[in-house]
Amino acid sequence: MTIVALAQEAGVPRNALTQRHLDLKNDFYAKVRDRGKIPDSEARLRRQIVKLKELRAKDAEELKGLRADVQALVQSVNQLTLEKQQLRTEPTTPTSSLRLLSAHPQP
């Protein structure tokens, strides 16, 4: 029992019931509910809502992981920046195996 089947049985376009005669559409769905059956359109929408809620939960979990990754990457960048600054400011000694490189190569 759907509004489409009712419109076909009555010989009228579906939009005549769904847009112009909302009272008839509401009465139809009320009678369907009184019989204890959920209209097909409502059941379809309920299934879609469940799927969308599952997708939203999955997306929220993924977003939480990505935010944690960003925080870890920011900490790594900060640590590497500090280490680079320390290496650049340390004086090079003749016995040192490290040598200071200039930021711009000399021609």
Instruction: Sketch the domain layout of the chain as residue ranges.
Output: 1-37, 39-84
CA atoms of 32 and 48, how far apart (whole Å): 21
CA atoms of 28 and 30, how far apart (whole Å): 5
Question: Do the beta carbons of residue 39 and residue 32 sit within 8 Å?
Answer: yes
Q: Average the pLDDT over 52-72 and give the result.
A: 96
Could you tell me the pLDDT band of residue 91, with boundaries at 50, 70 and 90? low
**pLDDT more than 90, % of the chain:** 34
Question: Do the beta carbons of residue 7 and residue 14 sit within 8 Å?
Answer: yes
Query: Could you tell me the sign of the dihedral formed by the alpha carbons of 8, 14, 20, 26, in that order?
Result: positive
Question: Do the beta carbons of residue 39 and residue 4 sit within 8 Å?
Answer: no
**pLDDT more than 70, % of the chain:** 83
Q: Which two tokens stand for residue 49?
A: 């809502």
Q: Does the structure show a pLDDT above 80 at 39?
A: no
**Under 8 Å CB-to-CB from 34, ≥6 apart: which residues?**
none
Q: Average the pLDDT over 76-90 and give the result.
A: 88
Q: Average the pLDDT over 75-96 and give the result.
A: 80
